[in-house]
Amino acid sequence: MAAGSSLRMGKPKLSIRTGIGERPLGTIALQAAVRSRLDDLTIVTRERHSTIWAALDEHVRGESGRIRFADVDAGEAAKGLSRSIQAGLAAATSRKTADAVVILLADQPLVTAGMIDKLIEAFASDPSLQYAAYFNGEALSPPLLISSRLFGSLLGLEGDKGARELLRQPGLRGIAILPEKPELLLDIDTEQDLRKLDDYWINHGKEGEDEAT
């Protein structure tokens, strides 16, 4: 998911260069998705960000032939997060039948391929699950997997309600996974968050960068 307006940052944040390798922020999360066991990848972005994603694509092109990149113009993204989710779901399911989708945020650079794979493995071991998500200590958090049995509910979301709002409904069968470190769920929205990200990589060295890619 990369159709946000970056209002709190005050500038398009996904092209900000950060980390040990000074890579664009959005590229880091994209590399984790490429290196995971995901069968397919759909990037949801606003039309005005298309040049940014063309550049980001060059950083991961050739890393995995099983992944196809498709920019989705979430033209109504400003009307709420639900529109971006629905645009991504429509694009992903138009190409192949999906048992589930994994929703990833482009501004979570510390999410690893291994974390994504844990969601996939949880669903593969128990297909009756309606969702698998991470838990940040207070609430369910992306990255998260949504079973096809909830696709209709995703399409029914309105306004700025995301998948987490859907998962608050009682009676759903799912699993919450704790990350190895709470920092891995860091969501970059402000300059302060960028400093936290850089501090994480400084404190963890090369190991921290490898975790995030």
Model confidence at 47, pLDDT cuts 50, 70, 90, reads low
Structure-token match 């608050």, residue found? 168
pLDDT per residue as tens digits for the range 102-160: 999 988 999 999 999 999 999 999 999 999 999 999 999 999 999 999 999 888 887 77
Residue 45 predicted with pLDDT over 50 = yes
Complete edge-to-edge strand list for the sheet that includes strand 140-147: 100-103, 140-147, 131-135, 174-177
Torsion of CA 70, 75, 77, 79, to 10 degrees: -160
Vertex 80 angle, CA 106 and 138, to 5°: 60
CB 190 within 8 A of CB 8: yes
Contact (Cβ atoms closer than 8 angstroms) between residue 6 and residue 84 = no
Expressed in angstroms, the distance from the first to the final Cα of the chain is 17
Q: How far is CA 181 from CA 134, 136, 176, in A?
A: 11, 10, 15
In the predicted structure, residue 193 carries a pLDDT above the cut 60: yes
CA–CA distance, 141 with 168 (Å, rounded to integer): 11
162 vs 1, 99, 140, CA distance in Å? 11, 20, 12
Whether the full predicted model's pTM is greater than 0.85, yes or no, is: no
Q: Which residue has the tokens 């921290």?
A: 208
Residue 30 one-letter amino acid: L
pLDDT above 70 as % of the chain: 72
The position carrying tokens 């992944």 is 67
110 and 7 Cβ atoms separated by less than 8 Å:
no
| CATH architecture entry for 13-186 | Alpha-Beta Complex (3.90)
Contact 116, 102 (CB under 8 A): yes
8 A C-beta contact, residue 92 and residue 98: yes
Residues 82, 54: contact at Cβ < 8 Å?
A: no
pLDDT band with cut points at 50, 70 and 90 for residue 9: low
In the predicted model, what is the mean pLDDT of residues 80-85? 78
